[in-house]
Amino acid sequence: MDFRHTMKGRRALSAVAITTGLLLTVAGCGGGDDGNSDKGASTPSAATQSSSDGGKSESKAPESDTVLAEVKGENGLTLTVTSAKRDEGGFVTVEGTVTNNTDNTWIAANWRGDERELSKNGASIAGASLIDQKGKKRYFILRDTSGRCLCTQFTGGVRQGATAQWFAQFPAPPSDTTKVDFQVGSMPPASIEISEG
């Protein structure tokens, strides 16, 4: 009989704990209404839109005035680098856009790299590298423990005439190295300057 009472008590405590957790979750998701709740609350960022639709739609983010480099190649592709920032964590984040001026949907097949580990990244910019001419070193894209690149994947490709945003993260070259070449696929190298983030 004591066993039954103990089990009933445990069930009651479990039910109270679960109910409390659910109430706190619902209260936390509610958010306050200060009259400004419709200002950008339901609009995802342009970067989110670009990555969630696989770069199929044109970028809706305001274009940066700064263009570090722009190269053309591969039958009408245009690669633009708009930012290269050194972060405190010991890496460099490079960002930009790719515009598909070819006759078909572009799927970035030869941008993913030749390494076997990179084959899991599909149509991505995983094969990109930074070349430090001064230090005579090549820096490959960073990866997580599963071999996925810390970079943009162009899921579904980029439609003809469309522009997609991309990013790629690399180990940082020494602090006195400020100029590097960004290279991916058969695109010509793009000389860029690294700024401090």
Sheet holding 137-140, edge to edge: 137-140, 129-132, 179-183, 190-193
pLDDT tens digits, 9-20: 555 555 545 545
CB 184, CB 129: distance < 8 Å: yes
pLDDT in tens, 36-82: 444 444 333 334 334 444 444 444 444 456 899 999 986 889 999 99
Rounded CA-CA distance 94/180 in Å is 11
pLDDT for 145-195, tens place per residue?
888 889 988 888 899 999 999 999 999 999 899 999 999 988 999 999 999
Q: For residue 180, which of 164, 195, 166 has the smallest C-alpha distance?
A: 195
φ and ψ at residue 10, rounded to 5 degrees: -65, -40
Give the pLDDT confidence score for residue 40 in this predicted structure: 41
**Which of 19-23, 115-119, 146-150 shows the lowest per-residue confidence on average (mean pLDDT)?**
19-23
Residue identified by tokens 């989110």 is: 48
pTM of the model: 0.65
pLDDT at 81: 96
